Amino acid sequence: MIFNTWTYGLFLALFVLVYWFCVPVRHRAKALLTAGLVFYTYYYPFHTILIVLLSLIVFGVGRMIERAGEVRWKRLWLTGGIAVCLAVLAYYKYLKLLIGTLNDLFHLASLPFGYEIPGILVPLGLSFFIFEFIHFLVDVYKGTAKQTSLLNFGVFALFFPTLVAGPIKRYQNFLDQLQHPPAFSLDFWVVGLGRILTGIAKKMIIADSMNLFITPFQNPGQATALELWIAIFAYSIKIYFDFSGYSDIAIGSARLLGFKILENFNAPYLKPNISEFWRNWHISLSSWIRDYLYIPLGGNRGTPAFAMRNTIISMALCGLWHGASWNFVVWGLYHGLGLAAYRLFNRRGKSKLKNDSVPGSLAVEEVAATKEAGSGGWKWAVAGFSTLATFMFVSVGWVFFVNNIHDSMYILAKIFRLI
């Protein structure tokens, strides 16, 4: 089901009434699991079987990790569980990219053969499933997530408000709320409906109205530089209000059921540097990348070059997570290089860094630069310029997010008057 449809609205309204007024507290977990299965099956029934099987495998591997006595066996189970998750993600989301890339290489080498690209339909929310499952396995391995029942894990995996567009949940936080359900409060409905209506307005009034202005992306060769600049800024508005709108609907839907899930956006376009932007854009993903990718790669331990390398790798994989196309990788590299450059800039200006330079913890003393620049009007001018420059950097980066690499390079050349 798509959030901004009458089907979802009717489904949510009926389930909320049944959940609070017909289902005993001891059976609410079962009701949530049933709702998740119905929600997911409505999209594509076969994929429900896949997700259920994968959930059973992950839960079983988690149990084996927990029960394994020696560390080497724990690591072996962890590695196997993550490998299964990544294999499913690779097959459904990235196999077509791999085959298409191989065919392109064969063509460039003038080889007279290639592979047929399979018509694979990607399961709804697969990337979110995989990231939550990996988080679960890693945290069970670390001992920070304690398993309970298969039912509770199933509710975590198939909690329908977060299936479409996140936010990416953390198991222990969700489990605590599931095991200690609150009593009904009218405040749940007031806050939840408010967030849902806000999300619908963001999506349908603001984001969708930007479609008229981004049409130059469809044929950049016929567009002027001014039209392309307008399209860039329009898309910046569209993607923020579209994505944050969906997050609002998800958060509001969960709140109607008494659950609090992680906020995903915190005015990211109003931040004074690229580091702060990533701390406040898609927060659940940024923190996941920090905890389960950047830090395992080595984080900011070691030399500055080593930390910047880890940042660039993390952001490239972040880009690939967003979509199975090379332009998303370029978009990730663009931000990775921006973050590395910002880290280098701060290192040159300060004796040492106090924070990581990766999404979710990027920050290097937010206002240090403005404090050094002075006070009063000059300070605010520097802060305003920094915010504007960050917004421009992010907006130009969206060109790679929405266009293929060839068209993206053409658009950049055109808007900067290089052609």
Angle at CA of residue 194, ends 191 and 198, nearest 5°:
140
DSSP state of 375: S
What DSSP letter does each residue of 239-286 carry, written as one string?
A: HHHHHHHHHHHHHHHHHHTT-------S-GGG-SSHHHHHHHSSHHHH
376: left (phi over 0), alpha (psi -120 to 50) or beta: left
Return the structure tokens found at 325.
């196309």
pLDDT score for 370: 45
Do the beta carbons of residue 312 and residue 336 sit within 8 Å?
A: yes
- CA distance linking residue 141 with residue 133, whole number of Å: 12
- CA distance linking residue 396 with residue 415, whole number of Å: 10
pLDDT score for 411: 96
pLDDT digits (tens, 9 = 90+) for 105-141: 988 888 888 888 888 999 999 999 999 999 999 999 9
> Choosing from 27, 180, 282, 322, which is the catalytic residue?
322
Burial of 192 (0-12, 13-18, 19+ CB in 10 A): buried
pLDDT digits (tens, 9 = 90+) for 326-382: 999 999 999 999 999 998 888 765 544 444 445 544 444 444 444 444 455 678 888
Q: Which long-range contacts link 46-55 to residues 24+ away (Cβ below 8 Å)?
A: 47/121, 47/123, 47/124, 50/88, 50/123, 51/123, 51/129, 51/157, 51/158, 54/84, 54/85, 54/88, 54/129, 54/133, 55/133, 55/153, 55/154, 55/157, 55/158
- CA distance linking residue 238 with residue 80, whole number of Å: 40
pLDDT score for 358: 52
pLDDT score for 382: 84
Do the beta carbons of residue 101 and residue 59 sit within 8 Å?
A: no
- CA distance linking residue 98 with residue 345, whole number of Å: 37
**pLDDT tens-place values along the chain, 419 residues long:** 788 788 999 999 999 999 999 999 999 999 999 999 999 998 888 999 999 999 999 999 999 999 988 899 999 999 999 999 999 999 999 999 999 999 989 888 888 888 888 889 999 999 999 999 999 999 999 999 887 899 999 999 999 999 988 899 999 999 999 999 999 999 999 999 999 999 999 999 999 999 999 999 999 999 999 999 999 999 999 999 999 999 999 999 999 999 999 999 999 999 999 999 999 999 999 999 999 999 999 988 888 899 999 999 999 999 999 999 999 999 999 999 999 999 888 876 554 444 444 554 444 444 444 444 445 567 888 889 999 999 999 999 999 999 999 999 999 999 998 76
- Dihedral, CA of residue 79, residue 84, residue 89 and residue 92, to nearest 10: 160
- CA distance linking residue 2 with residue 216, whole number of Å: 27
- CA distance linking residue 228 with residue 232, whole number of Å: 6
- CA distance linking residue 146 with residue 162, whole number of Å: 22
Burial of 249 (0-12, 13-18, 19+ CB in 10 A): buried
- Domain ranges in the chain are 6-181, 192-415
Q: Which long-range contacts link 221-230 to residues 24+ away (Cβ below 8 Å)?
A: 221/410, 223/414, 225/414, 225/415, 225/417, 228/411, 228/414, 228/415, 229/415
* Other beta carbons less than 10 A from residue 411's beta carbon: 25
pLDDT score for 85: 97
Do the beta carbons of residue 315 and residue 281 sit within 8 Å?
A: no
Could you tell me the pTM of the whole model? 0.89
Do the beta carbons of residue 203 and residue 240 sit within 8 Å?
A: no
User: Is there a catalytic annotation at residue 406?
Assistant: no
Residue in this structure with the two tokens 């040159």, named with its chain if needed: 348
- CA distance linking residue 231 with residue 419, whole number of Å: 18
Return the structure tokens found at 188.
């749940």
Do the beta carbons of residue 359 and residue 346 sit within 8 Å?
A: no
58: left (phi over 0), alpha (psi -120 to 50) or beta: alpha
